Structures are given as C-alpha cells and as structure tokens.
C-alpha cells in the first residue's frame, strides 16, 4: 500500500500542535492535519463539518484551551479528537473527514491509496 511519511513520531506531542499537510481529495488539493491524542495518531481534512472552513486558529493549533477538544475557530463547533465527532456547536452529530494514518518505525504515515476518494 503506498504511504507518505508525514512526520517523525516525536514531532507529534500528546495534545500538542498538529502537523499540517496537503493531499489530493475529490480531484483537488486539500488541507489536512495529523495529531496525537491519548497515545493515538489521528488525521482529518482541515474543514469544519458545519461549513467547509479551516478549523485552526493558527497553523497547527486545533485544540481548545483545555487541550481536550478540537475547535473550529470560526463557528465554535467542538470535536472529539479520536473520532472527529462534533459534540457541540452548530453541527452536533456530524464528523470531520478522517484520513487513514499509521505509526510505525518512529514515523507517522498517510496511507495514500485510501485517500484518493475519486
């Protein structure tokens, strides 16, 4: 399966800044991010489930002040970092678009074959 290295494992601190990247999705280049939460690594398209605007306050800054939720800087929707499920704000019950990633050999990789979504 084709994979792309996004970063080294040590680059993702627990509930810290995310690593931003781009990928092809639905025939166009899209922004995305990968982060570490409760020991796991998760990746999502950088788009609010309410209206497709980027979530981060500043590049890579997705967590709220408590470092518990991902927050849309425009609408205030908040999401569970491990599932992408919106738990409050204008779109409860909707989810961020998750991307397949895996961590091995001290690297975090995007599984590209599953991200083309053509």
Cβ atoms of residues 37 and 15 within 8 Å? yes
- Closest to 62 (Cα-Cα) out of 52, 47, 83: 47
**Total domains present in the chain:** 1
User: What pLDDT score does 63 carry?
Assistant: 97
Domain holding 41, by residue range, is 3-114
Buried b (16+ CB within 10 A) or exposed e, 74-94: ebebbbbbeebebeebebeee
Q: What is the mean pLDDT of the chain?
A: 94
Q: Each residue of 17-46: pLDDT tens digit?
A: 999 999 999 889 999 999 999 999 999 999
Q: What is the CATH number of the domain that holds 23?
A: 2.102.10.10
pLDDT tens-place string over residues 83-104: 999 999 999 999 999 999 999 9
């Amino acid at each position: 399966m084709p994979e792309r290295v996004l970063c080294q494992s040590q680059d993702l601190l627990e509930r810290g800044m995310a690593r931003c990247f781009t990928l092809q999705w639905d025939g166009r280049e899209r922004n995305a991010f990968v982060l570490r939460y409760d020991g796991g690594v998760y990746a999502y398209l950088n788009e609010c489930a309410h209206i497709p605007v980027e979530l981060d306050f500043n590049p890579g800054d997705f967590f709220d002040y408590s470092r518990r939720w991902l927050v849309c800087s425009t609408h205030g929707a908040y999401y569970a970092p491990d599932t992408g499920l919106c738990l409050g704000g204008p779109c409860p019950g909707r989810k961020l678009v998750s991307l397949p990633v895996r961590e091995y050999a001290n690297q975090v990789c995007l599984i590209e074959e599953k991200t083309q979504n053509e």
